[in-house]
Amino acid sequence: MNFISDHLLTLILFSPTLVALVLMLIPSGNKQALRWTALIGSLIPFGLSLGLWAGFDPGGAKFQFAEQANWYPAIGSSYHVGVDGIALTMVVLTTLLTVISILASFSITEKVKAFMALFLVLETGMLGVFVSLDLLLFFVFWEIGLVPMYFLISQWGGEKRNYASLKFILYTMGGSLGLLLATQMIGVLTGTYDLPRLLELWPAYQVSGNVLFGLPLATVKSIAFWAFVIAFAVKVPVWPFHTWLPDAHTEAPTAGSMILAGVLLKLGAFGFIRLVLPLYPAESQQYAGWLAGLATLAIIFGAFGAFGQNDFKRLVAYSSINHMGFVMLGVAAMAAAPGTADAVIALNGSVLQMFNHGLYSAGMFFLVGVIYERAHTRDLSKFGGLWALLPVYGTILIFVSMASLGLPGLNGFVSEFLVVRGAWPVLQVATALSMIGLFFTGAYTLKGLWTVLHGPLNEHWKGHLTEINAREIIVIAPLMVLIVVIGVWPAWILDIINRAVSMWF
């Protein structure tokens, strides 16, 4: 038992990879065995992360369950992992969504072994980003996550999967180039990659004469700041770095979209919260207006973009840009007024919004997948009045859509309220403008409903569509329960987030 509790994070981090290795030993033809092994295997990190949650002391040390081991001593980089309240919620979100996505992928029939194995490796990559306390380790995991997702899209994707997967990987890698360089620079200048030490060293970094590489130090730092920002902004994605997302989402297999929206986008936002704000407090404040402006544009144009779609999946994909914009608005509020109560409230909202968006966006993509598997089309103009044929599916779709719309009583509202509440005193104009986006959130969400479920029944589908099945209900049920629970009683999770954010800023 001691071994488990001493190495809990490492176990959570690498158990998915181990399960992926086990999958390699199972013959490719035995699809059921592969599926069930993957599912049961994915329950291991999920169970362990629940243990992590139970053992986490919200009022305790900043980083808990920390582990450190030698890795690259020559350049001052080590295997250093640990979680705070923010990372903790993300770890649990990741392990939960992986289980659910694997169950959702039971309908995959081609190359099951490779699919499941890639999925589990992807989980390790994502978890690594959340738990890394070493800048180099962070970057390694950051890039590892890309590879499985690239293959998931390019091998199991839709018609334009090659274009989409290439766009996805090149865009994200291109964005990370600056991050890599800036990371190297920080490591070389300070002699360490260890995050807790960098938090003290880098913001206060001074050089004699204030000139570095022939440039003023402030300029160098600003460039490094923007290198970080662009890498994470591509991932979030913040307007105008978002155009890879609709393509990647639309072409990815259902489970891929679920994870992409549910977790991968959070890596970007997490990068802002974990690295950009603490490492560059001065630059963050200097450029907070820019961040707020981009967040507002993401909220507004994400909503417009979603409203302008005629493909159901693309509509949901654009909604992510709109919803993640609120996360960014909270980040911008913290950048503008670090440490104030308003900013803490806003950032609380951001972190909770990350968790909430993980739940309902995964749910929305899953539900789009359910209808796509049956109808083989996502064209909104081809549906109509399906509620009469699919009463249970329709009700579930309305429920999850309402969470995404931010209906009070469901989870999305709590986080949006917190962000708006926190951002209003700090970024009044941006917050007021973001209301345009909030209004159109309603418009595009209802558009999905009014074209698919409501209106005159498209007789074409009569007798051709089957109701959502038991496995699919099991997939969506945990998400629905969490959506209600957080909407009605958010304190259990927000308390952890609130303490963590208060501790950081």
Partner 1 sequence: MTTESLIWLLPLPPLAAFLLIVLFTNRSKALSHSLALAGAGTAWLGSMIVFFRAVGQHDLAENPIHISFNWLPMVDEWFKMGVMIDPAGAVTLFFVAWTVLMIFIYSVGYHNFGQPKGDHDRPGLPPHGATVGDKKHAHKVPSVEPMYSRFFALISLFAFAMFLLVVSDNLLLFYIAWEIMGFCSYALIGFWYGKESARNAGVKAFLTTRVGDVFMLLGIVGLYSATGSLNFHEVLGNPDTLAKLAAADSGVLGLSLAGLLGILLFIGTVGKSAQFPLHVWLPDAMEGPTPVSAMIHAAAMVSAGVFLAVRTFPLVSAGRVGEELTSAMMVMAFIGAFTALFASTIALAQNDIKRVLAYSTIAQLGYMIAALGVGAYVAAVFHLVTHAFFKALLFLGSGSVIHGMEHGVLHTGEKIDPQDMYNMGGLKDKMPVTFWTFVAGGLALSGFPLVTAGFWSKDEILTGAFGGHHWWVFGTLAVSALLTAFYTMRQITLTFLGKPRTKSAEHASENKTVMVGPLVVLAVFAVGAGWAGIPEKFPLLGGLIPNWFGEFVGSMLHEEAHHAESIVPLLTSLVVSLGGLYLGYMVYRDVKQGSPDPLARMGFLYKVFKYKYGIDELYHDVFIRPAVWISEVFTYRWIDKGLLDGIIEGIGKVALTLGRLVRNYIDIPLWNEGMTDGVGGGVRRTGDALRPVQSGRVQMYMVLAVLLVLVASVLFLFFAA
**Given candidates 91, 100, 104, 414, which one binds partner 1 under the rule CB under 8 A?**
414
What is the rounded CA–CA span in Å between residue 19 and residue 39?
A: 10
* Closest approach of partner 1 to the CB of residue 239, in Å: 9
Q: Decide if residue 289 touches partner 1 (CB under 8 A).
A: no
**Given candidates 188, 200, 450, 466, which one binds partner 1 under the rule CB under 8 A?**
450
Q: Decide if residue 417 touches partner 1 (CB under 8 A).
A: yes
**Given candidates 388, 474, 477, 481, which one binds partner 1 under the rule CB under 8 A?**
388
**Given candidates 16, 342, 359, 482, which one binds partner 1 under the rule CB under 8 A?**
342
What is the rounded CA–CA span in Å between residue 81 and residue 42?
A: 21
Question: What's 77's DSSP letter?
Answer: E
Q: Decide if residue 495 touches partner 1 (CB under 8 A).
A: yes
Buried b / exposed e over 471-504, threshold 16 CB at 10 Å, is: ebeebbebbbebbeebbeebeebbebbbbbbeeb
Q: Restricting to residues 227-256, which ones interact with partner 1 according to CB under 8 A?
A: 240, 242-244, 246
Segment near partner 1 (CB under 8 A), from 13-21, 113-121, 415-423, 475-483?
Answer: 415-423
In contact, 373 and 257? CB cutoff 8 Å: no
Q: How far apart are the first and last CA of the chain?
A: 35
In contact, 247 and 167? CB cutoff 8 Å: yes
What is the rounded CA–CA span in Å between residue 76 and residue 186?
A: 11
Say which residues have a Cβ less than 8 Å from residue 4's Cβ, sequence separation at least 6.
11, 48
Count of other CB atoms within 10 angstroms of residue 257? 31
Question: What's 238's DSSP letter?
Answer: P
Q: How many residues bind partner 1 (CB under 8 A)?
A: 60
* Closest approach of partner 1 to the CB of residue 422, in Å: 8
Q: Restricting to residues 455-474, which ones interact with partner 1 according to CB under 8 A?
A: 455-457
Cα 287–Cα 292–Cα 296 angle in degrees, nearest 5: 150
Segment near partner 1 (CB under 8 A), from 123-131, 186-194, 362-370, 414-422?
Answer: 414-422
Q: Decide if residue 490 touches partner 1 (CB under 8 A).
A: yes
What is the rounded CA–CA span in Å between residue 441 and residue 306?
A: 8
Q: Restricting to residues 168-227, which ones interact with partner 1 according to CB under 8 A?
A: 170-171
* Closest approach of partner 1 to the CB of residue 211, in Å: 32
* Closest approach of partner 1 to the CB of residue 215, in Å: 26
Segment near partner 1 (CB under 8 A), from 114-122, 180-188, 355-363, 429-437?
Answer: 429-437
What is the rounded CA–CA span in Å between residue 120 and residue 126?
A: 10
In contact, 109 and 88? CB cutoff 8 Å: no
Q: Decide if residue 446 touches partner 1 (CB under 8 A).
A: yes
Q: Decide if residue 77 touches partner 1 (CB under 8 A).
A: no
Q: Decide if residue 402 touches partner 1 (CB under 8 A).
A: yes
Q: Decide if residue 167 touches partner 1 (CB under 8 A).
A: yes
Nearer to partner 1, 242 or 274 (CB): 242
* Closest approach of partner 1 to the CB of residue 114, in Å: 28
In contact, 38 and 102? CB cutoff 8 Å: yes
What is the rounded CA–CA span in Å between residue 50 and residue 95?
A: 9
| Residues lying near partner 1 in the complex (CB under 8 A) | 167, 170-171, 240, 242-244, 246, 301, 304-309, 341-342, 344-345, 348, 385, 387-388, 391, 395, 398, 402, 407-409, 413-414, 417-418, 420-421, 424-425, 431-432, 435, 438-440, 442-443, 446, 450, 453-457, 489-491, 494-495, 498, 502
